[in-house]
Amino acid sequence: MNQLIVTPTALIFAVALVAVAFFISLKEKIGLEKDLVIGVIRAVIQLTVVGYVLTYIISVNRAWLTLLMVGIIVFNAAWNARGRARGIPYAFVISLLAITVATGVTIGLLVLAKAIAFVPSQIVPVSGMIASNAMVATGLAYRSLNSQFHDKRQGLLEKLALGATRYQTAINVVREAIRTGMSPT
């Protein structure tokens, strides 16, 4: 297996990108300097650990380890998606179910169609991309739900007061949130 070597040039470019963001934050008084530094340190640690774990999983090539890694990816995506679900009950469970189904069905179809093989070097990165996109879509749907329920609060309360069921009251908001989450970007 080829080893990925981070060249000094690549490292300089990566640091330059962070430096640009840092100085923009400083100049515009955005206040993200501390978060950027912590984020860089965290990213280096996480990428190092993930690199070693992936190297091991790919070299061992066991189905259960591959599925465990996909499970960790999906869990992490669901955990991050629920962060955008302020006030939505059971957001983590909903996110976990949605992202698991999206990732599982897509990976399953790709393997059945022989577009990818069920080997860690293909399954793990592709499932990461799918789970990441599902996480973003779920987060967008949550954001849309929250903003629409906030913006349309009075009208929704009026519908309820006039005898509409919760389903009848919320269905248009839910449909719009689903549309937002499913819209191609």
End-to-end CA gap in the chain: 35
92 and 3 in one domain? no
**Amino acid found at 34:** K
pLDDT at 2: 58
| DSSP SS3 for 62 | coil
Question: Is residue 9 domain-shared with residue 78, that is, in the same domain?
Answer: no
Burial class of residue 69 in the structure, from the number of CB atoms within 10 Å of its CB (0-12 exposed, 13-18 middle, 19+ buried): buried
Residues 121 and 47 in one domain: no
Chain-centroid distance of CA 50 in Å reads 17
Could you tell me if 74 and 33 lie in one domain? no
Domain boundary among 60, 80, 105: 60
| Count of domains observed in the chain | 2
- Residue where a domain terminates, one of 39, 60, 81: 60
Residue 5, token pair as written in the block: 């070597």
- Report pLDDT digits (tens) over 97-145: 999 999 999 999 999 999 999 999 999 999 999 999 999 999 999 999 9
- Chosen domain end from 60, 83, 104: 60
For residues 9 and 79, membership in a common domain is answered with no
What integer pLDDT is reported at residue 126 of this predicted model?
A: 96
Confidence of residue 84 (pLDDT cuts 50, 70, 90): confident
Residue-number span of the structural domain to which 171 is assigned: 62-185
**In angstroms, rounded to a whole number, what is the distance separating the alpha carbons of residues 37 and 29?**
16
Identify whether residues 97 and 171 lie together within a single domain. yes
At 42-73, the pLDDT tens digits run 888 988 888 888 889 889 999 999 999 999 99
Q: Is there a single domain that holds both residue 118 and residue 130? A: yes
Residue 33, CB half-sphere, CA atoms under 13 Å: how many?
8
113 and 172, same structural domain?
yes
pLDDT digits (tens, 9 = 90+) for 166-184: 999 999 999 999 999 988 8
Whether residues 79 and 48 share a domain: the answer is no
The answer to whether the CB of 131 falls within 8 A of the CB of 80 is: no
101 and 162 part of one domain: yes
- Pairwise CA distance, residues 123 & 71, whole Å: 12
Taking a C-beta distance cutoff of 8 angstroms, is the pair 168, 159 a contact? Answer: yes
Are 160 and 166 within 8 A, CB to CB?
Answer: yes
The per-residue pLDDT for 125 is 92
Same domain (yes/no): 142, 173: yes
Same domain for 87 and 147: yes
> Would you say residue 4 has pLDDT above 70?
no
Please give the Cα distance from 185 to 180 (Å, whole number).
Answer: 10
Query: How far, in Å, CA of 74 to CA of 184, rounded?
Result: 21
